[in-house]
Chain A
Amino acid sequence: MSAGGRAGPSLAAVAVRGAALTYDDGTQALQPIDLGIEAGEFVTLLGPSGCGKSTLLKLIAGLLRPSVGEVRIRGAPPQALDTARHRVAFVFQAPTLMPWCRVAANARLPLDLAGMARAEADARVAEALARVGLGDSANKLPHTLSGGMQMRVSIARALVTRPDLLLLDEPFGALDEITRQRLDIDLLGLWRERALTVVFVTHSIHEAVFLSQRVVILAARPGRIVAEHIVDEPYPRQPEFLVSTRFAGHARQLQELLAQASTTADDDAAGRNATWPHGSAGREPRWP
């Protein structure tokens, strides 16, 4: 993808070129990564704990800088973009709300930081809260909300800036299955209606297949991209898709790709058993 080209302002594309991250103590968190994401794409980064998928997302956001290589958003380094041109929203694993602020003030935060006029900011907040189904909760404090509702506030906060690139770091990982699925469906709705580019990090094969057009598979120690998988299924995707044979097929393929990646890692290490390496990395993909 020609990220450095004459991309129009509506085009939000990500280009990661040879970006690697090594910590000060010499640990290599990410081997050089090459990844291009087209405007309007829904891409999932899938992998076990410790594979660097969150790190990669933070590199794209500009929260971390690569040790070597470069990250470009619409042709410019993420840090170089001012707020007006940045238009990147980040949703963390936890809701990360300010507990002392009411829901509306939490959602208004990025607009307040940008110095937007109060009236316009309030209008945007009201619209975003209504979109995530929290129109009635604007005056509540975060601790009075359920985990799922707090996550919705976090998403509303991401929407108020009218981003064209939405980065989500395992956003629904701590929620129960039913709430998670509802939020997944809502997210797909948002993506389609706002023509967003979405980069979604998860360790759930289910979620990856259900949501994405393209799944990028990462392996751990050191973190690297090992495979890509296209989920060529039509949208809108309904809950029925979850129990279809096509869904199971994609999930099996992802499962195999993840298993291969871990086997390779084990071959590199010593043995040839097909479990996840290094204990704590865990058998996180929970596909039967």
Chain B
Amino acid sequence: MAMTGAAAALSRPLRAVLYPALVALVLLGAWQITVDALEVPPYVLPSPWRTVQTLIADWSMLGAALLVTLRITLLAFALATLCGTALAFVFVQSRTLETALFPYAVLLQVTPIVAIAPLIIIWVRDPTAAMTICAALVALFPVIANTTLGLRSVDPDLLGYFRLHRASRMQVLLRLRIPGALPYFFGGLRISSGLALIGAVVAEFVAGTGGTGAGLAYQILLSGYQLDIPRMFAALLLISLTGIALFAAMSLLARGVLRPWHASEINRE
């Protein structure tokens, strides 16, 4: 068929961008046409074009808010990665500690952050710190779970070989467990980066802090009160784009590190 022939002619990365872009084009076009044709008022549903216009017009406010949210997200993500990895190392070194502590990691994961956030905001005076902690709690679990699994997923024969050659615990960790855990670790980071953003937005909602330190969530709340729905959409768009950018960054990082040897990246070719 001509279609498959044309598809085959495009390179794989190009298709990965082109196909979703086509879907976006169709959906946005339909949205724009529907809003125009039915004359839907912008305070009910703004058109895509109107959203972009608002984004540009209100950029000074929204851009500043984006920076605030981004800062909390990245801080939380870094904190979650650091703590999660550290905990995973502890778990792998000692089954006793893992057995004792793992239920609490699960507890953190299953307790809704909205429920804990007010408490953290009361305890931690500094709002940025409080929101960072909330977001980090949301992002923590995938890092712990994936990294622990990765550090454990060692070929038993290879481990036997290391033992046979009198490898120290440190040698096993550095030469075998850590490199072997990297694919799992990056899988965890990919999930956590998105969760850190979600956590940051939720924390902002709960904290409800305005003023100079206001993030995108606060802009959404404010726009809601003011019935400025186009700005709400613009803020929403920025949050989504941030999430996509984080995911893409993590995927690129994983590919850069794993591409030479790991099946998940080799098979993409």
Contacts and interface: CB of A to CB of B under 8 A. Distances in A.
Interface stretch (B137-145, B154-162, B199-207): B154-162
Interface string A63-101: 100000000000000000011001010101110101111
B261 A96 contact: no
A96 B161 contact: yes
A113 B171 contact: yes
B67 interface: no
B167 A92 contact: no
B125 interface: no
Given A100-B179, A100-B261, A112-B175, A61 B158 contact: no
Contacts of B262: 99-100
A217 B73 CA distance: 65
A99 B261 contact: yes
Give chain B's interface secondary structure class. helix
A83 B165 contact: yes
Given A113-B171, A141-B261, 18 more contacts: A58-B160, A82-B166, A88-B164, A90-B161, A92-B160, A96-B157, A96-B161, A98-B158, A98-B175, A98-B176, A98-B179, A100-B180, A100-B260, A101-B179, A109-B161, A112-B175, A113-B166, A143-B266
Please tell me the size bucket of the interface on A: 20 to 34
A145 interface: no
Interface in A204-233: none
A147 interface: no
B15 interface: no
A161 B165 CA distance: 10
Contact of A63 (B155, B163, B171): B163
A50 interface: no
Contacts of A36: none
A141 B180 CA distance: 15
Nearest to A81: B166
9 contacts: A88-B164, A92-B160, A93-B157, A96-B155, A96-B158, A99-B262, A100-B180, A109-B165, A113-B167
A62 B266 contact: no
Contact of B165 (A92, A99, A113): A113
Interface in A86-133: 86, 88, 90, 92-94, 96, 98-101, 109-110, 112-114
B156 to A, nearest CB: 9
Interface of A: 58, 61-63, 82-83, 86, 88, 90, 92-94, 96, 98-101, 109-110, 112-114, 141-143, 161
Nearest to B171: A113
A86 B180 CA distance: 28
A97 B180 CA distance: 12
A113 B162 contact: yes
Contacts of B180: 100
Given A98-B176, A113-B171, A143-B266, A62 B158 contact: no
A161 B262 CA distance: 28
Max count, chain B CB within 10 A of own CB: residue among A62, A100, A101: A100
A216 B165 CA distance: 27
Contacts of A58: 160
Contacts of A112: 175
A110 B179 CA distance: 17
Contacts of A94: 157
B164 A90 contact: yes
Contacts of A101: 179
B164 A61 contact: yes
Nearest to B158: A96
Nearest to A110: B165
A271 B176 CA distance: 49
A114 B164 CA distance: 11
B180 to A, nearest CB: 8
A99 B153 CA distance: 14
A141 B157 contact: no
Contacts of A90: 160-161, 164
Nearest to A154: B161
A98 B165 CA distance: 15
Contacts of B266: 143
